[in-house]
Chain A
Amino acid sequence: MNEKRLLKICLVISILGIFLLLSIAEFSQPKYYQINDITDKQLDTQIKIEGTITKTKDLPGLFLLDLKDNTSKMTVVAFKDFQINLTKGENISVTGKIAEYNNVLEIIADEITIKNDS
Chain B
Amino acid sequence: MILELLIAILLGCFTGIITGLTPGLHINLVAVLTFSASYFLLNFISPVTISVFIIAMSITHTFLDALPSIFLGAPDSDQVLSVLPGHRLLLEGRGYEAVMLTAIGSLAAVILTLMITPLLIPFVKFTYPLIKDYIPYILIISSIFLISKEHKSRLLALIIFLLSGTLGIAVFNLPTLKQPLLPLLSGLFGISILIVSLSEKSKIPPQKITNPKLEKKESAKVLSSGLITSSLCGFLPGIGPAEAAIIASSPFKKITSEYFLLLTGAINTVVMVISFIALYTIDKARNGSVVIISKIMEKITFSDFIIFLAATLVSAFIAYYLTKGIARIFSSIITKINYQKLCIGIIIFIVAIVIILTGPLGLLVLLISTAFGIVPSLLGIAKNHMMGCLIIPVILYFLL
Distance, CA A31 to CA B82, complexed state (A): 44
Query: Which one of B371, B372, B379 has the highest number of Cβ atoms from chain A below 10 Å of its Cβ?
Result: B371
The answer to whether B271 has its CB under 8 Å from any CB of chain A is no
Majority secondary structure, A binding face: helix
> A11's contact among B175, B298, B364, B375, by CB below 8 Å, is which?
B375
Q: Are B179 and A29 in contact (CB under 8 A)?
A: no
> B365's contact among A7, A21, A44, A46, by CB below 8 Å, is which?
A21
Tell me the chain A residues, 74-116 only, with Cβ under 8 Å from chain B: 100, 102
Distance, CA A10 to CA B163, complexed state (A): 13
Q: Are A17 and B378 in contact (CB under 8 A)?
A: no
Chain A residues with a Cβ under 8 A of chain B: 1, 3, 6-7, 9-11, 13-15, 17-18, 20-22, 24-26, 28-31, 43-47, 100, 102
Query: Which one of B174, B295, B361 has the highest number of Cβ atoms from chain A below 10 Å of its Cβ?
Result: B174
Q: List B contacts of A29 (CB < 8 A).
A: 175
Q: List A contacts of B298 (CB < 8 A).
A: 102
Chain B residues with a Cβ under 8 A of chain A: 163, 166-167, 169-171, 173-179, 199, 295, 298, 361, 364-365, 367-368, 371-372, 374-375, 378-379
Closest 4 CB pairs between A and B? Answer: A17-B368, A46-B175, A21-B170, A13-B371
Q: List B contacts of A31 (CB < 8 A).
A: 175-176
> A14's contact among B171, B173, B295, B368, by CB below 8 Å, is which?
B368
Please judge, given known A-B contacts A7-B375, A18-B368, A44-B178, whether A25 and B163 are in contact too, CB under 8 Å. Answer: no
Between A and B, 22 residue pairs with Cβ closer than 8 Å are A3-B378, A7-B375, A10-B372, A10-B375, A10-B378, A14-B163, A14-B368, A14-B372, A15-B163, A17-B367, A17-B372, A18-B166, A18-B372, A21-B171, A21-B365, A22-B169, A25-B175, A28-B175, A31-B176, A44-B178, A45-B175, A46-B176
Q: Are B174 and A24 in contact (CB under 8 A)?
A: yes
Distance, CA A25 to CA B364, complexed state (A): 13
> B371's contact among A10, A24, A46, A102, by CB below 8 Å, is which?
A10
Distance, CA A67 to CA B85, complexed state (A): 57
Distance, CA A14 to CA B178, complexed state (A): 21
Q: List B contacts of A46 (CB < 8 A).
A: 175-176
Distance, CA A24 to CA B177, complexed state (A): 11
Q: Are B170 and A6 in contact (CB under 8 A)?
A: no
Distance, CA A28 to CA B175, complexed state (A): 7
How close is B203's CB to chain A, nearest CB, in angstroms?
19
In the complex, residue of chain A having the shortest beta-carbon distance to the beta carbon of B295: A100
Q: Are B166 and A14 in contact (CB under 8 A)?
A: no
Query: Which one of A10, A26, A100 has the highest number of Cβ atoms from chain B below 10 Å of its Cβ?
Result: A10
Q: Are A22 and B176 in contact (CB under 8 A)?
A: no
How close is A11's CB to chain B, nearest CB, in angstroms?
6
How close is A38's CB to chain B, nearest CB, in angstroms?
14
Q: List A contacts of B178 (CB < 8 A).
A: 43-45
In the complex, residue of chain B having the shortest beta-carbon distance to the beta carbon of A24: B174
Distance, CA A25 to CA B168, complexed state (A): 11
Q: Are A14 and B378 in contact (CB under 8 A)?
A: no
Q: Are B371 and A22 in contact (CB under 8 A)?
A: no
How close is B296's CB to chain A, nearest CB, in angstroms?
11
Q: Are A21 and B368 in contact (CB under 8 A)?
A: yes
Distance, CA A13 to CA B167, complexed state (A): 12
Q: Are B372 and A22 in contact (CB under 8 A)?
A: no
Q: List A contacts of B372 (CB < 8 A).
A: 10, 13-14, 17-18
